[in-house]
């Protein structure tokens, strides 16, 4: 028999030779093959076809044990006869499961973790051969391996700009505990889907426990600091002053504020509808609906917001009249001097500059929502009402940011806030 013969070819010959020779009880279709033994079980594949599933081993005993496991798996349900590599399956999962069903920002985040952290180390592993030990070794490697070296970050720079790993001076850029857990979470989600689709029997990533890192707490501004920031922006005639008012007084997220349309603002009724956002995803600037229904809301506009938006409407009309090129009809409240949407990162830079000019501590833009929560505490707003204003899906999230504030001190600060900003 030639070396190139398949198990199906050899099985017939082995079967003929084995006639009249006793077999071990329950051994079934097990026969010598090359330097060991082979066995098969008829299984039903996930697409409903009946096919042979093969198992191989160096000894008859080893092959018999695998054969028994195949029989047990076949009795439990469909069994895949061919298994892709992990990289191949992740590509399918991102394309067919993640992209159509998750928000673009989430899908882009999953794609990033797959591309940079999972596939380089585990991508060549066959999906059905991936073990708990493989996943543990991969996680330990992320903790110890410089990601600048692994991802070739310095190598992609021009030769004159290379400053660390590419010139032999490793910067030891290790993955953070948060990054490691997020990468593991993405792998676990992908393998969970493979289990649901009956491609693999169990999720080996889910059998591991990865510690959840503590969140870094950012101290929000006090009421006085928020007043100082807004006063500074107003005195300087900062074109983004109305935007700063909305994120501080109404707790709007950055994307919600940048995606706000004039059609969603009613200055006569003093109402604002939140339903759209702007995000930069995979190189594209997207104007899309907010992530969840709980994010959508009709919010009442305090006087300071009505005044700021009225000024914004006048300033934008003046900018449109001065524009030398045709003004894009996007209907956005906040635009550049040329009528284009504002880049989220550019808004971050403007916010940092405004913090420096106001002389207040620099905080991330998203931390202004916590400042808004502090303002609501200061006004003795009930947590359930604050939950509606901040549009949290769970009251526990609201309570986490509903920090304690001294009532007497904040009431005085709020009076000064109202006097200085409500005029």
What is the Cα–Cα distance from 282 to 83, expressed in whole angstroms? 30
Question: 10 falls in which pLDDT band (50, 70, 90)?
Answer: low
Question: 415 falls in which pLDDT band (50, 70, 90)?
Answer: low
What is the Cα–Cα distance from 368 to 352, expressed in whole angstroms? 12
Nearest to 154 by CA among 144, 164, 143: 164
Evaluate whether the domain defined by 86-207 bears CATH number 3.40.50.1820: no
In the numeric block, the tokens 């279709």 are attached to: 29
CB 402 within 8 A of CB 372: no
Q: Please give the class, per CATH, of domain 223-421.
A: mainly alpha
Helix (H, G, I), strand (E, B) or coil at 156: coil
Query: What local confidence, expressed as pLDDT, does residue 17 receive?
Result: 46
Query: What local confidence, expressed as pLDDT, does residue 108 receive?
Result: 92
Q: How buried is residue 168: exposed, middle or buried, by Cβ count under 10 Å (0-12/13-18/19+)? A: exposed
Phi, psi of 382 (to 5 degrees): -65, 140
Nearest to 311 by CA among 210, 423, 161: 423
pLDDT tens profile 366-380: 888 878 877 666 656
Query: What local confidence, expressed as pLDDT, does residue 396 receive?
Result: 74
Q: How far is CA 12 from CA 3, 27, 67, 124, in A?
A: 15, 16, 18, 34
List the 36-44 sheet strands across, edge first: 30-33, 36-44, 50-57
Phi, psi of 288 (to 5 degrees): -140, 170
Helices 407-421 & 368-378, crossing angle to 10 degrees?
110
Q: Whole-prediction pTM value? A: 0.68
Is residue 405's pLDDT more than 70?
no
- Number of neighbouring beta carbons within 10 Å of residue 400: 13
Q: How far is CA 235 from CA 66, 232, 275, 302, 376, in A?
A: 77, 5, 31, 20, 25
Query: What local confidence, expressed as pLDDT, does residue 21 receive?
Result: 43
Query: What local confidence, expressed as pLDDT, does residue 376 receive?
Result: 67
What is the Cα–Cα distance from 304 to 249, expressed in whole angstroms? 9
What is the Cα–Cα distance from 395 to 336, expressed in whole angstroms? 37
Query: What local confidence, expressed as pLDDT, does residue 385 receive?
Result: 65
Nearest to 53 by CA among 82, 75, 28: 82
pLDDT tens profile 88-145: 999 999 999 999 998 888 999 999 999 999 999 999 999 988 999 999 999 999 999 9
* CA of residue 192 relative to chain centroid, distance: 17
Query: What local confidence, expressed as pLDDT, does residue 363 receive?
Result: 92
CB 382 within 8 A of CB 293: no
Is residue 339's pLDDT more than 60?
yes
Determine which of 14-28, 267-281, 343-357, 370-384 has the lowest per-residue pLDDT on average: 14-28
Query: What local confidence, expressed as pLDDT, does residue 40 receive?
Result: 86
Is residue 293's pLDDT more than 70?
no
Beta bridge partners of 280: 285
The domain segmentation of the chain, as residue ranges, is 7-76, 86-207, 223-421
CB 291 within 8 A of CB 103: yes
What is the Cα–Cα distance from 392 to 358, expressed in whole angstroms? 30
Query: What local confidence, expressed as pLDDT, does residue 200 receive?
Result: 84
User: Quick one: what percent of the chain has pLDDT higher than 70?
Assistant: 81
Question: 11 falls in which pLDDT band (50, 70, 90)?
Answer: low
CB 18 within 8 A of CB 31: yes
What is the Cα–Cα distance from 16 to 29, expressed in whole angstroms? 12
CB 375 within 8 A of CB 226: yes
Question: 421 falls in which pLDDT band (50, 70, 90)?
Answer: low
């Amino acid at each position: 028999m030639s070396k190139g013969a398949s198990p199906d070819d050899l099985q017939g010959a082995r079967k003929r030779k084995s006639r009249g020779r006793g077999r071990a009880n329950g051994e079934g279709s097990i026969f010598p093959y090359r330097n060991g033994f082979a066995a098969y079980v008829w299984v039903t594949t996930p697409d409903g076809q009946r096919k042979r599933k093969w198992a191989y081993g160096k000894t008859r005993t080893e092959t018999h044990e695998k054969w028994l496991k195949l029989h047990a798996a076949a009795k439990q349900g469909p069994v895949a006869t061919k298994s892709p590599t992990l990289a191949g399956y992740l590509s399918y999962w991102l394309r067919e499961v993640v992209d159509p069903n998750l928000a673009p920002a989430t899908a882009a985040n999953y794609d990033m973790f797959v591309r940079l952290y999972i596939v380089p180390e585990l991508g060549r592993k066959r999906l059905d051969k991936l073990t708990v030990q493989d996943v543990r070794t991969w996680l330990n490697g992320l903790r110890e391996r410089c990601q600048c070296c692994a991802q070739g970050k310095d190598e992609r720079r021009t030769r004159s700009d290379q400053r660390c790993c590419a010139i032999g001076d490793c910067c030891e850029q290790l993955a953070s505990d948060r990054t490691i857990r997020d990468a593991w979470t993405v792998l676990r989600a992908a393998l969970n889907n493979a289990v649901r689709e009956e491609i693999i029997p169990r999720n080996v990533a889910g059998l591991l426990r990865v510690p959840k890192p503590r969140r870094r707490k950012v101290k929000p501004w006090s009421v006085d600091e928020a007043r100082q920031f807004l006063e500074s922006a107003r005195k300087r005639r900062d074109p983004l002053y109305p935007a700063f008012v909305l994120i501080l007084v109404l707790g709007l997220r950055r994307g919600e504020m940048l995606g706000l349309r004039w059609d969603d603002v009613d200055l006569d009724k003093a109402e604002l509808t939140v339903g759209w956002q702007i995000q930069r995803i995979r190189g594209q600037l997207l104007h899309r609906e907010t992530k969840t229904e709980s994010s959508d809301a009709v919010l009442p506009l305090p006087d300071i917001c009505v005044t700021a938006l009225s000024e914004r409407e006048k300033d934008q009309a003046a900018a449109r009249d001065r524009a030398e090129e045709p003004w894009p009809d996007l209907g956005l409240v906040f635009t550049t001097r040329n009528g284009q949407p504002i880049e989220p990162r550019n808004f971050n830079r403007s916010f940092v500059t405004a913090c420096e000019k106001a002389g207040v501590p620099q905080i991330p833009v998203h931390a202004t929502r916590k400042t808004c929560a502090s303002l609501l505490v200061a006004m003795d707003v009930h947590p359930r009402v604050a939950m509606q204003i901040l549009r949290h899906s769970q009251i526990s999230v609201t309570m986490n940011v509903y920090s304690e504030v001294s009532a007497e001190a904040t009431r005085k600060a709020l009076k000064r806030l109202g006097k200085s900003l409500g005029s």
